[in-house]
Amino acid sequence: MRWRKRRICPSVDHLSANFLYIKGLELLNKYVGEGERQVRSIFGRARERAALGSPVIVFFDEMDGAFRTRGSTFNDAESTMVGQLLSELDGMQPLTGVVVLAATNREDMIDPAILRPGRFDAKIRIERPDAHDAKEIFAQYLRSSLPISSDLLRSIRGDPKLAVGELIRRTVEYRYAEGETNRFVEVTYLNGAREVLYFKDFSLGAMIKNIVTRAKKMAVKRFLSSGQDGLSLSDLYAAVDEEFAESEDFPSPGRLGPCVRQEGRAYRLLVNVEGGIFGFWARSSWQMNHRIDEWTSRHEPAASDDQP
C-alpha cells in the first residue's frame, strides 16, 4: 500500500488529493484476521486524511484477487474480508471525502454484494479495441521516422506519413476482416442461439504492440540477410498471422465460457463449440456436451414411488 499525493488541477496549487494504491493480493495473509485488519486500517487512514480537508482516493487494483464471491473458495478469510469491506463502504461510519475505485479483469469473480448500487455506483467497461481504436494504437508504434520499404514509398509518392497511414489502414483491414481465415470458433448457447467469434473479438492493445514488434524484427532480419531495407506490408501481415497462431491470450475450450462473458455478452451456458484452427476444437464439442449431460443427470429430481 502506498500513499501518493496528486494534484487534481495543475492550475490550482492548493487543490490536491491523497492517492492510496492497493494491490488486491497483498491483502491476503496466512494469519487469521490480518486481512480484515488491513482493510480497517486502509479506511481508517483514509478517513483521517479526509478529515484534514484533502480528498482521498482509494484504488484497489486486481480486486478479484482478494474479494471473491463468498462460498466460491475454501478460504474463509476471503469471505470475512468481503464482509469487512462492505461494512466500510456503507456502514455506520460515513466515507466523507473518500472516493473508492477498483479495477479488475474478472468482474464475475467479485462478490455481487460489493458491486451493487450504493457501494460502487458506476461501472466503466474498457472494451477491446475495435478497428478505429486499433488504428490509433498502431499509430503509437508505427511512426513516419521508421524506415519504410522503398517499393511502398514509390507507390505513395515518397511521403513517409502517407506510407505509414497506408500500412496501418491495410493491416487493420486484414486483422479485423470477418472471413474464413479470421474465423476462430462458432459457439452454440443453451438457449439455442449461435454465434461466430473471430480473432478480432479477442483483440488486445498489447497484441497490437506485439504485431509491430514482430514486423520490425522481420524487417531487420531481411535487411541483414538480403540487404532489402524498410518495413513492408508483408512484414505486418506475417506478424498478424504469427500473433494469431502463437498468442496465449486466445482462450482454450475450458476458458471460452468466462471469456465470452467478459465480452459483455449475456451470461449464457455454452453447449457446443465448432471450428477453430486448433485440433482440440474438434473434440471440445463432444466434451462440453458430455459435461452438460452429466450435470443434468445429477440434478434431475429423483422419481418417487407414488409417481406413475
CA distances from 225 to 87, 116, 152, 221, 232 (A): 65, 60, 20, 6, 16
Distance CA 50, CA 181 (A): 56
Distance CA 115, CA 113 (A): 6
Tens of pLDDT, residues 23-73: 888 888 777 788 888 889 999 989 988 888 888 899 999 888 888 888 776
- Say if residue 140 is exposed, middle or buried (CB neighbours under 10 Å; 0-12, 13-18, 19+): exposed
- In terms of Cα–Cα distance, which of 117, 219, 220, 235 is closest to 174? 235
144 φ/ψ angles, rounded to the nearest 5 degrees: -70, -15
Tens of pLDDT, residues 243-289: 888 765 555 555 565 565 555 554 455 555 665 544 333 334 434 44
- pLDDT score, position 141: 93
- pLDDT score, position 218: 92
- If one compares 228 and 190, the residue with the highest pLDDT of the two is 228
Residue 196 has pLDDT above 70, yes or no: yes
Tens of pLDDT, residues 205-230: 889 999 999 999 999 998 888 888 88
Instruction: Output the CA torsion sign for 130, 135, 140, 142.
Output: positive
Distance CA 185, CA 267 (A): 18
- pLDDT score, position 212: 94
Measured from the Cβ of residue 308, the count of other Cβ atoms closer than 10 Å reads: 3
Query: For the chain, what is the mean pLDDT?
Result: 76
Residue 277 gets which letter from DSSP? S
Task: Please report the domains of the chain, with CATH numbers, ordered by start residue.
Answer: 2-115 (3.40.50.300), 131-294 (no CATH)
Do residues 147 and 229 lie in contact, with contact meaning Cβ atoms separated by under 8 Å? yes
Do residues 65 and 81 lie in contact, with contact meaning Cβ atoms separated by under 8 Å? no
Tens of pLDDT, residues 118-171: 788 888 888 889 999 999 999 999 988 888 888 888 887 788 889 999 999 999
